[in-house]
Chain A
Amino acid sequence: MTKASRSSDPTSRAALAGAGFTDLEKARRLWAEPALVEIADREVVADFGVAADPDLALLLLSRLLGSDDCPAELCGALMADPQRRRRLFRMLGLSAGLGEILLRHPEWYEVACDEPSWPSAAQVRAEFLVGVGANPDAEFPTAAAGGPETYVELRRAYGRQMVRIANADLNSGAEVSDITAALSEVADAVLDASLAIARAEVPEHDCARLGIIAMGKCGAGELNYLSDVDVIFVAEPARDDVDEAVALRVATQIAQRLMNVTVASTVEGSIWQVDAGLRPEGKSGALVRTLRSHLDYYQRWAKTWEFQALLKARAAAGDVELARAFVAETRPLVWSASRRPDFVGEVQQMRRRVEQNIPNKHAGRELKLGPGGLRDIEFSVQMLQMVHGSSDITVRAPATLAALEQLATWGYVGREDARALSEAYAFQRTLEHRLQLRSLRRTHMLPEAPEDLRWLGRSLGLKPDPGEELLKRWRAVSLDVRRLHEKLFYRPLLNAVAKLEPGQARLTPEAAADRLTMLGYRDPAGALRHLQALSAGVSRRAAIQRTLLPVMLDWFAQGPDPDAGLLGFRHVSDELGATPWYLRLLRDESAVAERLALILSTSRYASELLVRAPEAVQILADSTAAPPTDRGALVAEMRAVARRHRRADSAMAAVRGIRRRELFRTASSDLLHDLGVESVAEGLAVITDATIDAALAAAVAEVESVRGESLPTRLLIVAMGRLGGRDLSYASDADVMFVHDPLPGTDPVAAADVARDVFNRVRAGLSVPSPDPPLELDADLRPEGRQGALVRTLDSYAAYYQRFSAPWEAQALLKARPLAGDNELAEQFMLIVDPVRYPAGGLTASDLLQMRRLKARMESERLPRGVDPRRHTKLGPGGLSDVEWVVQLIQQQHASRIWGLRTTSTPEAMAVAVAEDLIPPKDADRLMAAWRFASSMRNANTLVLGKPSDTIPSDVREISAVSRVLGYEPGQSSDMLEDYFRTTRRSRKAFDRLFFRD
């Protein structure tokens, strides 16, 4: 008993609050009205607690009891039978719309109060037809009269049925499918009665037979309270003496009248719209066709989706024999549709549509279209029916819940999954129904206001905080459904190859291959082999894989190359499967698994790094992983690791291991977070610097320990080229020069031998084949190129540059940067090269001429044959080389005067050149835009292909993967090309102006 029962006043505020009233003052006023005073009893008040909105229920009840038409016995009936009054309170507290109907027709109170009845479809039909004055048993039941008065009769009958079904819905614990079936039966009866009215309005109506086929939700017997009713009309002459054209004309008139009957507004409102838009040729096709004409259309012209719509076709009203013939004759066509060549494509398109159909704005509140919403479930079930129903007649039920049941029964989806999904579907449909009943309007939106949520929660009997509880349950359900693709689509694939647990779905190999193809895998047989290898067995490992793989398969399918993703995952898992943390990490941290899937299905480069040393997966656990920026820290780590090894080769192997880890960190954060090309370059420079530095230290230590004394010479490694400029790409070699300077009093020849020995150990150690990627040190930019000595003394460099240096060598020196070795030697070396690279007074006229000619010749000679120059990121027009040569020309011309230009970095030098008015800002912007685009294009090439390439790929699949890496959507690769060509064309023009004109 509630508190109210202990109080002497049955309508005390406490009693009212206990029953769930919120506006207590208003409630008290209402209870004081004469109509209610009679029933103001403690128990009656408490019974309002069953209403979703007690205030609304009370208001409506007061108006009902206060109305003149109110049957006298109602009061007594309510007092006498708690069951009956609770039923009424539930309805009044739920729906102002139903309340309005009862206010217009208080005489129907029993329909709302009594034990819900379940009349048969035939009874319902007869009731409607008799209601409009037609004979249910006639060949052509015809209403007594057409016109608005009969429309009102029809609406009354409909309103009464709504009250009956709502009563059953709220008070009988009926399943959602029972309610939707009842609503569909009523819809059939409305169609029949409307047809009877239409016939009364059309002269000569009896010369045409007219069958009505329900489609869509009504066809499937799962109609909402408020939704359009989809139909198709089929007609034939009623007698042999009637011409087909005449019959069609008359039938069309009847159909048009019929559609008007249900929508015309009257004092009793309207019913719903009859929508014939699914007919052949849609809105522009004939409204009514003969059976033959329908079949002709479906046999010759219909699209796959139209057959799919036919799946729901059901003979609903009118000439049932004719309607049934339509259904029977079209049914075989439905399933032959799946043998069409474009079938798989259309299915995939549908799948994308489901995912794209989610408008972001309302996504959080949409019951129907939101992620994990009703449409999601319906489409997924239909897609599975399309894939498997063509070869299996047992999974062809039209209704969503029934189809799900069948798919589970015959092993196409897991039984548990199907059950959970059915429950989710029923829950969401119930929410939708309650919202629609509230004001008898069509809506699919979960309300936002707390009081509305409370109302909805109470209508489901949720406690203690109904609104909060509702949101909680709804979120849980949609989250559950959101993993729908995984459960429905992928898990049975696994069971196709794995040991079956009881109650699990099992696909045949053929069915599994069909499904994988639909999901975008190009080699289903290979994919199945990998699945088998990964998930077979009874080990714990296999068990975890079986829960993991369904999700992973979905993520792979979203990447550019699903097959490569799965293959990579198998390699990594084969390596790491036995490590305890690996599968646990993927299982517990789904973000890690998702990142892994994206990387494996996108980048061959990153996949190869990972497959060689899979423990780097751990890097993915850090969502903020970024390329290294602190050279000192990395050097310290590498040196420390190197010191633990006595032999230089094993020390260097350890250093290379760290390098590989850092490369993977850089590549993966690039792929996941779309790093700018500058941070990638900087990260790669830090990694390369530290690696060379540590390798040099290890080589020196080993040579010293072999010799038993310190080195007789000072050493220096100078970075050149892109390494010198710190704008490395994934594919760059390391350009270097080796310098040494014998200590005073040592034998120069012996010193040179030692220096060469050390440098050779560094080169060999970094490039000797091993599981880690090699770092090739390329010394071709040294004096005299490949003909010159690999190692020179400081003095030799000085002598060479003073005497011989060609303009291109001076230009190459612009990138010279001391990288590792003796600091003092570094300073001395830079003093030698500075005057060469920054000539006082700029370039001479003849040097300038030479430089321009060299550039012009390079373009024609160095481009590979058969390559479209515009697709060459390095040497193509407006590409990297153009931009860099402009900057280098300006550096050589002005750096002796402008100290800011003395940098090896292209972007830095460009910025200074702009600040110093040497390059117009607009030109600089265009050059840098092209430089960045070309650099990231080259990096994307390497990431996707796993090998260096300066050319934009022409293979369709490769270019689309590259465009995805660069942030374009699927299918936008030609936009990427267009953008690239525009950017480089502009940069080329700036280059022409700046480089070739004085």
Chain B
Amino acid sequence: MDKQTEFVLRAIEERDIRFVRLWFTDVLGQLKSVAIAPAELEGAFDEGIGFDGSAIQGFTRVTEADMLARPDPSTFQILPWRGEKDAVARMFCDIALPDGSPSHADPRFVLKRALESAAADGFTYYTHPEIEFYLLRERPAEGGRPVPVDDAGYFDHATLGPAHDFRRKAITMLEDMGISVEFSHHEGGPGQQEIDLRYADALSTADNIMTFRTVVKEVAVERGVWATFMPKPFRDHPGSGMHTHLSLFEGDHNAFADPSAPMGLSTVGRSFIAGLLHHAPEMSAITNQWVNSYKRLAAGGEAPTYVCWGHDNRSALVRVPMYKPHKSNSTRIELRSLDPACNPYLAFAVMLAAGMKGVREGYELPPAAEDNVWNLTDRERWAMGLRPLPGSLHQAIEAMEDSELVAETLGEHVFDFFLSNKRAEWEDYRRQVTQFELDRYLRLL
């Protein structure tokens, strides 16, 4: 029994924990949870806890429903919102088949495989997300419209209060769960918040994002408000993105850093960006997986629409932040297309795979975009060879269908399930008659 497992078993006795929630994530990025009593935990470590996989989005077909959840003891945390008495703890799980082999449907396994592949080349992969979300007054009823908590205006101190208080409470809980918060502030839209997580290895970060979403929603409910990670809930306010900073390390050395190169960016860093750019359209369905995701991308502002990169260019898909001499280990790049409603495991996996393909095959990095690409004319962009990102979920699906890279990274099972699920979502969406149409056509036509 390894030390971590022992630690968990001991902590459960010492802290009088009544239930342990085993967390895992379905293919679409929804958190799933099985509660077990502490007495079952030792068995769960040894053999896993059996459950019916056919009930989980994208896990199995009915004929092979039996699956096992095997907790990862290194992710053990006590859930702070459940109180100290009769405490509840959680652990993330890996999903296995009855014969003990890992399930190819498990998003965590998808990311682990991508990480192993990069590790074979000597790289470890770190990410650091800036997560945006909106606080609403209450949980919108079906057909209702979202009302932000502080729609009275930015500078109204009376209404800024609850949101500020909310952030403090959420951050305390996150820190209690061992998730370090780098930064937080009120974002551009009314009721919109941003909380940045400290950088960590990609698997921990993905776990942390899953925890983050849960914590934020729990704290909101506790305070009688509603938090949403929907990418674009308001037509007239900015969408919620999840700009993500990436870096690769070789041992202790930042593989993106080369102080003697332009922008302090090494050849590895440049090829990595080239990989991200080259494969951006085909991984768009993963980084921006909902019909609504493309409403955010269409709006511009902080959201990218064209495949390009720039040095501190906030309209670019990939931004290289200002280089700080003597801090070469903080060299990183920022991918700005992601939104907080993605499945972070899958998204981080395809981003890594795209970048690594650039590195392995020595992709050439095209010239940086100096201007705000929004201000260019179509012809200028055409002349500069700027390709647009997919403009809708439909276009994203089509781009992904032809992608060997995404198929190899996700594995055949997830690839197939994801595509058919997204096609169905698009079909559903196409059949909708929207408020837009009613407003515009009903009286006119």
Contact = CB atoms under 8 A, between A and B. Distances in A.
Q: Do A and B come from one complex?
A: yes
Contact of A978 (B43, B63, B402, B411): B411
A981 B413 contact: yes
B412 A974 contact: no
A281 B99 CA distance: 28
A578 to B, nearest CB: 41
Contacts of A282: 3
B97 A974 contact: yes
Nearest to B96: A974
Interface in B385-418: 402, 407-408, 411-413, 415-416
B103 interface: yes
B139 to A, nearest CB: 37
Given A302-B1, A868-B61, A985 B99 contact: no
Residue among B9, B97, B408, B412 with the highest chain A CB neighbour number at 10 A? B412
B143 to A, nearest CB: 36
Interface SS of chain B: helix, strand, loop or mixed? helix
Given A302-B1, A868-B61, A956 B97 contact: yes
A282 B3 CA distance: 9
Given A303-B1, A974-B104, A342 B47 contact: yes
Contact of A284 (B3, B9, B97, B104): B3
A156 interface: no
Contacts of B63: 866, 868, 954
Contact of B6 (A281, A341, A866, A868): A281
A263 B434 CA distance: 81
A971 interface: yes
A602 interface: no
A280 to B, nearest CB: 9
A581 to B, nearest CB: 41
A956 B103 CA distance: 13
Contact of B412 (A866, A973, A985): A985
B310 interface: no
Contacts, number: 57
Interface in B82-105: 97-104
Interface size class of A (residues with CB under 8 A): 20 to 34
Contacts of B46: 341-342
B407 A985 contact: yes
Nearest to A306: B1
A985 B402 CA distance: 10
Contact of B9 (A285, A301, A956): A301
B52 interface: no
Contact of B99 (A302, A303, A960, A977): A960
Contacts of B378: none
A866 B408 CA distance: 27
A956 B104 contact: no
Contacts of B64: 954, 956
A982 B412 contact: yes
B407 A978 contact: no
Interface string A289-304: 0000000000011110
A981 B416 contact: yes
Nearest to A984: B412
B99 A870 contact: no
Contacts of B43: 341
Interface size class of B (residues with CB under 8 A): 20 to 34
Contacts of B415: 985
A971 B3 contact: no
Contacts of A866: 62-63
Contacts of B97: 956, 974
B408 to A, nearest CB: 8
Interface string A952-995: 00101000100000000001111001100110010001000000
A982 to B, nearest CB: 5
A303 B102 CA distance: 23
A462 B345 CA distance: 66
A301 B1 contact: yes
Contacts of A974: 97, 101-104
Interface in B45-65: 46-47, 61-64
Given A954-B63, A974-B103, A974-B104, A301 B6 contact: yes
B202 to A, nearest CB: 22
A971 B101 contact: yes
B221 to A, nearest CB: 38
Contacts of B98: 956
B1 A981 contact: no
Contacts of B47: 342
Given A284-B3, A974-B104, A956 B412 contact: no
Nearest to B62: A866
Contacts of A972: 101
A285 B6 CA distance: 11
Contacts of A982: 407-408, 412
Contacts of B407: 982, 985
A978 B413 contact: yes
B60 to A, nearest CB: 9
B426 to A, nearest CB: 19
Nearest to B402: A989
Contacts of B99: 956, 960, 971, 973
Nearest to A867: B63
A973 B101 contact: yes
Contacts of A300: 9
Interface in B5-54: 6, 9, 43, 46-47
Interface string A38-60: 00000000000000000000000
B354 to A, nearest CB: 18
A978 B409 CA distance: 12
Nearest to B404: A986
Residue among B1, B9, B61 with the highest chain A CB neighbour number at 10 A? B1
A281 B98 CA distance: 29
B416 A870 contact: yes
Interface string A858-881: 000000001010100000000000
A913 B99 CA distance: 44
Contacts of A989: 402
Interface of B: 1, 3, 6, 9, 43, 46-47, 61-64, 97-104, 402, 407-408, 411-413, 415-416
The 6 closest A-B pairs by CB, nearest first: A981-B412, A954-B63, A954-B64, A303-B1, A974-B101, A868-B61
10 contacts: A281-B6, A284-B3, A341-B43, A341-B46, A342-B46, A954-B64, A956-B98, A960-B99, A981-B416, A989-B402
Given A285-B3, A960-B99, A985-B416, 14 more contacts: A284-B3, A301-B1, A302-B1, A342-B47, A866-B62, A868-B61, A956-B64, A956-B97, A956-B98, A956-B99, A973-B101, A974-B97, A978-B413, A981-B412
